[in-house]
Amino acid sequence: MADFGKHKGIEAPTGPILHCKGWGQEAALRMLMNNLDARVGENPRERIVYGGRGRAARSWPAYDKIVESLLDLENDETLLIQSGKPVGIFKTQTHAPRVLIANANLVGKWATLEDFDRLEKKGLTMFGQMTAGSWIYIGSQGVIQGTFETLAALAAKHFGGTMRGKLYVSAGLGGMGAAQPLAAKMLDGVALIAEADGQRIQRRIDSGYLDVGYDSIEQAVNDALTATKESKSISLGVHCHANELLQYLSERHIIPDVLSDQTAAHDPLMGYIPDELSATDAQVLRHQDPTTYLQMARCSIAQHVRNLLILQKAGALTFDYGNNIRREAFDQGVTDAFEIPGYVPAYIRDLFNAGKGPFRWAVLSGQADEIYKLDALALEMFGDNPLLSRWFTLAQKYIHFQGLPARIAYMGLGERDRFALKVNEWVAQGVLSAPVVFGRDHHDTGSVASPYRETEAMQDGSDAIADWPILNALLNTASGAHWVSFHHGGGTGIGYALHAGAVVVADGSEDSAGRLSRVLFNDPGIGVIRHADAGYDLAQETLARHHERMRAPFVGPQTNIPID
Ligand code: NAD
């Protein structure tokens, strides 16, 4: 923290001038800096980007060395990052990745938060979340389409396709949680979100993710109920702990239509504020006495899930939103925590079966109008997809860019590479003034093993099988992504997830065209194979449609245990 001074005000360079020796290195440098831009990351002072303590670099000296290495890196070399610290540069080959990243990985028996904390304290590791340590975070927009898709699927299943006149209640207005109020509003509903840190409420109002902030629960609830009755679409944030809001609602028999949570409960030490503490006091105690802090946080989390269960039983449509809160509470004796369903099996697995996931791009020109040009291109190419065209229209209306202008779009197998190749042509022709970066969240179809989230309740029981994200990282390396990452613990926390990421740059060259075509097809392709192998019909149909470009020699479980 002491050496933050000279790093204050980090902003990625923009435009067509190279500072590195190639666009692969340059894009990695710009996206790393973008993650630590104060308009993008949650707490750049501590290099925290989002998701509890998801960091982009282990220390400021490590950050400086990464920057120096990228500036110097040749076009046939590869830089290795070990948990946010550069550790080696090797001669590889021109079509290889320029950067390979491994964050927070631990051997199974040591994959506990306690061991992670101990090793982090010794300066040996760093939590990279999903897109923080892999340098492809694009602000709250990065999750908003997923939240939008989830709530749209929920609305289609339960409310005839709209959230109009429905009240969505949740907690957490952090980097990802901030997507909740805007997504509910985009679907014409009312959102009421508890947030324990008043500064986060203001930040979300400033960035257009939230309409109004309150200090009084009573006032916030009254206004939310009035808006719901009048079928207004509006988002409200209230400065209180989740439990305070939920208890207030239960005591008055006010049952939300939809109920969830996006506090960073996957990391009770850094991501959850116990009921007895203010955000400021929490910041002090978690460093002074982490053991007491953890006890308090876990106790509040258990109560939090009990409160969710009470409202669920009273009729609120309740789902876990990927923060492992159920497991944390279960470990504290809340034995019915898993009565709350997870959002992936409940609402979005079919997207994964079609090879769809949180694909995104950022324009290195820094010019917002180039994102709008790409929106138009996407609409021209995929306008017959009603969900995608609805998304682009709403995104243009509601999304404020943070840092480098970017767009997320849940594109599927065969769509991502086709779109990126056209963009590469546009870069070559000068239609766009600088290259475009294509990447995705690790929370994608074939890149994650996370039994309480992306791979919860897999049809064949393969929830905890983690070969798939490793194969994904290896395949993307072989296919020539510009940078590839493999992390542990993102989303649901240490011990609960292994996941991989890949990023490719369209710089207008033939080399880029080859990389884009291979990576952006193969990457969702392995997701489709993973789901086809688990027995999902839709994934098998998707696979069959693309048989010229990938084959699945075996589909289905193959036992190696003698049966007789
Ligand atoms: P974050 O650390 O940026 O924000 C967490 C927020 O919760 C903070 O603003 C904090 O003040 C607030 N908070 C903590 N305890 C609280 C309490 N008791 N009451 C009210 N507010 C409280 O985290 P984030 O990036 O927003 O991620 C939130 C969670 O969602 C994480 O667990 C993350 O892993 C998960 N996540 C889910 C998805 C998804 O698609 N479902 C995607 C990414 C992350």
Give domain status of residue 279, yes or no: yes
User: Is residue 282 situated within a structural domain?
Assistant: yes
How many Å separate Cα 492 from the centre of its chain? 11
Residue 202 has pLDDT above 80, yes or no: yes
Residue 11 maps to a domain: no
Query: Residue 144 domain-assigned?
Result: yes
Give the nearest ligand 1 atom to 300 CA.
18
Q: Is 127 in the pocket of ligand 1 (CB under 6 A)?
A: no
* Test site for ligand 1: of 145, 148, 176, 298, most ligand atoms within 8 A of the Cβ: 176
Residue 117's φ and ψ, nearest 5 degrees, are -60, -45
Q: How large is the average pLDDT for residues 364-371?
A: 98
145 lines ligand 1 (CB under 6 A): no
pLDDT of residue 486: 98
Q: Confirm whether 28 is domain-assigned.
A: no
Ligand 1: centre distance to CA 336 (Å): 22
Distances (CA, A) of 390 to 187, 191, 386: 11, 20, 6
Pocket flag, ligand 1, residue 272 (CB < 6 Å): yes
The atom number, within ligand 1, closest to the CA of 453 reads: 41
Q: Is residue 311 part of a domain?
A: yes
Q: How far apart are CA 520 and CA 44, in angstroms?
A: 30
Which residues have CB under 8 Å from 291's CB, separation 6+?
Answer: none
Q: Residue 347 Cα, ligand 1 centroid: separation in angstroms?
A: 20
Total domains, the chain: 1
> What would the mean pLDDT of 93-119 be, rounded to a whole number?
98
- What was the pLDDT predicted at 555? 76
CATH of the domain at 251: 3.40.50.10730
Asked whether the beta carbons of 87 and 81 are under 8 A apart, the reply is yes
Which atom of ligand 1 is found nearest the CA of 178? 26
Report how far Cα 253 is from the mean position of its chain's Cα atoms.
34
- CA 314 to CA 554: how far, in whole Å? 46
Residue where the block lists tokens 């950050």: 63
pLDDT confidence bin for 554, thresholds 50/70/90: confident
Domain that holds residue 147: 140-341
For residue 43, the 8-state DSSP code is B
Q: What is the structure's pLDDT at 140?
A: 87
Q: Residue 169: CB within 6 Å of ligand 1?
A: no
Residue 312 lies in a domain: yes
Atom 12 of ligand 1: nearest residue by CA position: 172
**Spatial contact of 255 and 202, defined as CB atoms under 8 Å apart:** no
Which residue, judged by its Cα, is nearest atom 35 of ligand 1? 323
Nearest-CA residue for ligand 1 atom 8 is: 174
The reply to whether ligand 1 has any atom less than 6 angstroms from the CB of 355 is: no
pLDDT digits (tens, 9 = 90+) for 124-154: 999 999 999 999 999 988 888 889 989 999 9
CB count in 10 Å sphere of residue 216: 12
Specify the pTM: 0.93
Q: Looking at residues 154-167, what average pLDDT do you find?
A: 95
Ligand 1 midpoint to CA 442 (Å):
17
How far is residue 235 from each of residues 142, 189, 214, 347, measured CA to CA in Å? Answer: 19, 8, 11, 22
Q: What percent of the chain has pLDDT over 90?
A: 93
Could you tell me which of 305, 243, 321, 317 has the C-alpha nearest to residue 275? 243
Check if the beta carbon of residue 50 is closer than 8 Å to that of residue 129.
Answer: yes
Cβ 175 under 6 angstroms from ligand 1: yes
Question: Is 80 exceeded by the pLDDT of residue 2?
Answer: no
Higher pLDDT, 1 or 315: 315
- For residue 162, is it within any domain? yes
Evaluate: CB of 197 within 6 angstroms of ligand 1: yes
Mean pLDDT of 52-81: 98
Q: Would the CB of 133 count as within 6 Å of ligand 1?
A: no
Q: 389 with 382: CB under 8 angstroms?
A: yes
417 has a pLDDT exceeding 90? yes
